[in-house]
Amino acid sequence: MLLMNNDIEMKYRSMGRTGVHVSQLCLGCMMFGAKTSPEDSEAIIKRAIDAGINMLDTANAYERGRGEEVVGDALKKNGLRDDVILATKVHFGMGADPNMKGNSRRHIIQQCESSLKRLKTDWIDLYQIHRPQPSVPIDETLRALDDLIRQGKVRYIGTSTFGAWQYVDALWAAKELGLNRFVTEQPPYNLLERRVERELLNMARHYGVAVFPWSPLAGGLLTGKYRKNNPSPAEGRYANLPEGNWMGQRLNENMYAAIEDLIALAEKKETTLSRLALAWVMAQPGVTAPIIGPRTMEQFEDNLAATHVSLTQEDLQAIDAICPPGGMFSPFYNSNWGPGEYR
């Protein structure tokens, strides 16, 4: 499927086995209500929908619910709720109560009700488990989600940052118990973090799972703002990291060397590093739509322009020579333990 709008050729892909079609870019709303004002957030959402983007992704934990409120307000104001696939997530704690976190039935049911209120909607199109939690049996989680689907409050369910084995385990449990199954997964995937190519992407293609990569620009590392011997941008997430913070592992000699080579390749193609990196994720087999997370309208327009970048086989081979398939220069799983581990 193809939609022409403002010189943008927005393509649409099937969301796994669901029959639903989603745009090749998904608008991530993590910045909304935080670094992006409600007014600017509303403008970006409207511009995205006008450009053909039909999927918005947020989470209850973004600014402790404020992110969902901003998205809900914007969709109510512009009257476009019915035009979008609205996705949100649950897992992280929302307060001091130790029971108000994780993947238990109690937390999932309570947080779904709260998300519906904040989003000002009667249903969530895609409700996702934000992180795996091995201490909670997967059948506990699936039964709660299945009840929400049967009640009409949720249409589809998915996961984020699950390992391939955890996802298959959940598919098996759903089949054995006659429950609705997960249909999507959100892994970290970018030129600096390609470990999902080892197992997860193949698993997703085999089982018909839609894949929505988060951090396709490596949290800003693939925008050209981070260069060796240059200070990190003051507004960037890597500025003034506390000593010992695991995110600091992303800044290393191999990462800086790869970025210099990628910038040279982007300049050769007369484009920007960010557009090249985003176009690359969109072009990968098994990827449904990368999740962009613009802070400003300028960043959004740059992300949107990636739909104009075409990559030749020669380009792809050059990229693989810089960033080897299945490799990793900067870790984007939340520990050193690798995909699917919980911390």
Which are the catalytic amino acids? Answer: 62
Is the Cβ–Cβ distance between 69 and 41 less than 8 Å? Answer: no
- What does the DSSP 8-state code read for residue 305? G
CB-based contacts of 12, cutoff 8 Å, min separation 6: 1, 2, 3, 21, 22, 23, 24, 54
Q: Which two tokens stand for residue 207?
A: 């089982």
Q: Which two tokens stand for residue 232?
A: 């990190």
Would you call 111 helix, strand, or coil by DSSP?
A: helix
| CA separation, residue 118 to residues 57, 191, 229 (Å) | 14, 35, 44
Q: Amino acid identity of 144?
A: A
Cα–Cα distance for residue pair 23/44, rounded to 1 Å:
16
Dist. CA 250–CA 256, nearest whole Å:
10
Nearest-CA neighbor of 130 among 58, 190, 193, 195? Answer: 58
For residue 290, the number of C-alpha atoms closer than 13 Å in the C-beta half-sphere is: 27
Residue with tokens 């081979």: 317
Write down the H helix ranges in 130-251.
138-150, 164-177, 200-207
Q: Is 36 exposed, middle or buried, given 0-12, 13-18 or 19+ CB atoms closer than 10 A?
A: buried
Q: In whole angstroms, what is the distance from residue 302 CA to residue 220 CA?
A: 13
Which strands sit side by side in the sheet containing 2-5, from one edge to the other? 2-5, 8-14, 21-23
Write down the H helix ranges in 9-78: 38-50, 66-78
Looking at this protein, which amino acid is placed at residue 214? W
